[in-house]
Structure 1
Amino acid sequence: MKNFLKILSVDEYSITPKYLQLVNSILLAIEKGEIEEGDVMPSINDLSYALDISRNTIERFYNELKKSGIMRTVPGKGAFIQKTDFDRPLKLLLLFNKLSTHKKIIYDAFVTTIGKSAAIDFYVYNNDFDLFKKIITEKVKLDYDKIIVVPYFIENEDESIDVIKLIPREKLVIMDKPVPQITGKYISVFEDFENDIFNALISLLEPLKKYDQLKIVFPSGTYYSNGILAGFKRFCAEHSFDYEVIQSLESQNIEIKTAYITVVEDDLVHMIQAAKVQELEIGKDVGIISYNETAIKQVILNGITTISTDFNLLGAKTAELILQNDCKKVPVPFTVYHRPSL
């Protein structure tokens, strides 16, 4: 019997479910000629014990192989590889900076659009440069068709760009945040932060005119793009608004006749609580604009005004360009939802 323990591997750092990692290992082994038709698979119990992985996970792994036609089972004889002549799926390495509601929307749209055309190894580096560097330097040597990076870093931004440059341009895909320092021909689907907030505020110009000044709450040490501040300041300068950039609302009273833009959810909550304590009417005495659309913002306080990218489109468009192998750089525009908070 072939030694499948040398073929099958699971990376504990990967977010990809273990059963899919095992499927991907089989596909890679078939591609390399390490597995042939007629090879006998270990029993579920034996493989579960040998890999120290739950029996349920091995069952899901085997069910995926059977659904794809790669493996068949014969009662009383076991499981066999029956098919090795299939179209090779794309091999993708997907790196997210963190998990969040919006990242899940991007991920789901990406995976749905890619469908069965790709095997995805999914990692989350938690805005940690050292972990990001470790993953890239180890994985860039492997035979991935595309390496998709969501590049947000609180520190070591210059060093992180040097790490991204290790990825061959024909394999590189930048998602969500542009990296203009990296030149050449590669896929990029991104938020154009400066122009997006500028144009969003232009569309809200009439309701903003009832406020004397604008303030944006932009915490220090955030990974949000400084392009947001550049677009905000440009709008205020061109339309003669007094403005202020503040790092936190915690030590400040909410000022009347002021519209506030919050990019972090905690600041939105603090803004609402502070306005309530000061007995200020939101949408009249003070205005609120929040970054990124969520379902709850549609209903609290009869609706919070938001400016938000289309996260579904971002994920789907990235997958679309990968399937077409079309090395374009495509901005995904913001959508403005004007509601009673402004």
Structure 2
Amino acid sequence: MKEIIQQIKNLESVSSLSKHEQLVQGIINAIDEKVVTKGDLMPSVNTIINELGFARETIAKAYKELIHRGIIESKNRLGYFVATDDVQQELKVALIIFAFDIFQETFYENFRKGLGKNVQLDIFFHHNNFDTFEHMVHSVKGKYGMYVIAPIPNAKTPGLLKLLPTSRVLLVDRNLDTDEDYNFVVQEFGDSSYKAFVQLKDKIKKYDEIVFFFKPSSAEPNEILESFKRFMKDYDIKGVIKEGYESGSLEKGKVYFTIHNLELWEMLKDTKLKGFKLGTDIGFISHNDDIVKEIIFDGVTTFSTDFAAMGKKAAEFVLNRKKIQEIIPTVLINRNSL
């Protein structure tokens, strides 16, 4: 009994939780952490009143919700008992990601489908803004059974994530250098990008110069930038790094690499307007694959991880809680744009 009461008390510091939510989530946490198991007796209403000072109506409402969800059961004159060890019935999951780009939509659709109908999924976007990210973590802590997070690379992020139970956090898309043993399903940017550039070096050398558009202090991974610099140095490739594409500035004899789809669409538009032949007059490389890049202009060369697989594996973890620390491979897809 004392262990259950303590699980509920542990949520007192979460100011955004009502007493009702604190009681429900505390009991769910107690079951999930194996403090109690199926068949164990729950604290009586009077015990909770005496230990925590909650109103009788609040306790009755919380127990009624847990009974409705099949997590506890009431036995006449005997009290309330744990009905199942599976507290993932109507599990609430918080998904915090960068934005809703095409590749992240692919992740989401496969993640949502993999969770099934009995899981409540709430989605939040931090847009690589740390203040927004910090506010979101504070807002969701203690309210969800699982937190699936695409973290912002920031020195403060590891400390911020410590507000959440490590066992209930799954990192996706990007990993963190942290002393916490997090589960993760992520992509790798450094070595995989370098390998892709090397595989394309003979085609890149057909052109006079390679131009990489990279915005500092953005969501773009710095590892890709460093890999690009290393590739140019190791293979004596002439290249330049610019912050962004200016409409109409496309030049014959150059190959362009961008991470942003909007830049790619603008450059493809200019390719058509200038009458350039893709793969001969100019070349394009894009990061993150999708069906449009497979079709448009007879195909754009990309290197990309499998976001569908990432979404499926993330859903599997949420449902079965089997430890996972996996890097989804990055694959080069060579098409006609070079």
* TM-score, normalisation: structure 1: 0.69
Aligned counterpart, 1:321? 317
Write the letter of the residue equivalent to 1:319.
Answer: A
Asked if the contact 2:130–2:152 (Cα under 8 Å) also holds between the matched residues in 1, the reply is: no
Aligned counterpart, 2:111? 110
Write the letter of the residue equivalent to 1:311.
Answer: F
Counterpart Cα distance in 2 of 1:39 and 1:234: 61
Task: Give the SS at the match of 1:289.
Answer: strand
Q: Percent identity?
A: 26
Q: Which among 240, 245, 251 is matched to residue 241 of structure 2? A: 245
Asked if the contact 2:247–2:266 (Cα under 8 Å) also holds between the matched residues in 1, the reply is: no
Task: Give the SS at the match of 1:170.
Answer: helix
After TM superposition, the structure 1 = structure 2 runs for residues 1-342 of structure 1, keeping only pairs within 5 Å, are 85=83, 87-89=86-88, 90-115=91-116, 118-140=119-141, 142=142, 144-152=144-152, 157-180=154-177, 182-250=178-246, 253-342=249-338
Write the letter of the residue equivalent to 2:264.
Answer: L
Write the letter of the residue equivalent to 1:263.
Answer: I
Task: Give the SS at the match of 1:215.
Answer: strand
The verdict on how the C-alpha distance between 1:321 and 1:239 changes in structure 2, with shifts beyond 3 A counting, is: farther
Structure 1 residue 316, shift from structure 2 partner: 1.3
Counterpart Cα distance in 2 of 1:35 and 1:103: 41
Asked if the contact 1:214–1:259 (Cα under 8 Å) also holds between the matched residues in 2, the reply is: yes
Structure 1 residue 291, shift from structure 2 partner: 1.6
What are the superposed Cα offsets for residues 211-249 of structure 1, whole Å, 9 maximum, x if unpaired? 232221113442111111112222222222112111122
Structure 1 residue 198, shift from structure 2 partner: 1.4
Structure 1 residue 144, shift from structure 2 partner: 3.8
Give the superposed CA RMSD: 3.4
Counterpart Cα distance in 1 of 2:60 and 2:173: 38
Counterpart Cα distance in 2 of 1:293 and 1:219: 20
Structure 1 residue 310, shift from structure 2 partner: 0.7
* TM-score, normalisation: structure 2: 0.70
Asked if the contact 1:113–1:316 (Cα under 8 Å) also holds between the matched residues in 2, the reply is: yes
Structure 1 residue 169, shift from structure 2 partner: 2.3
Counterpart Cα distance in 1 of 2:139 and 2:264: 40
The count of residues paired between Structure 1 and Structure 2 equals: 276
Counterpart Cα distance in 1 of 2:197 and 2:311: 25
Counterpart Cα distance in 2 of 1:272 and 1:225: 24
Structure 1 residue 114, shift from structure 2 partner: 2.7
Aligned counterpart, 2:52? none
Asked if the contact 1:187–1:326 (Cα under 8 Å) also holds between the matched residues in 2, the reply is: no
Structure 1 residue 143, shift from structure 2 partner: 6.0
Counterpart Cα distance in 1 of 2:312 and 2:64: 38
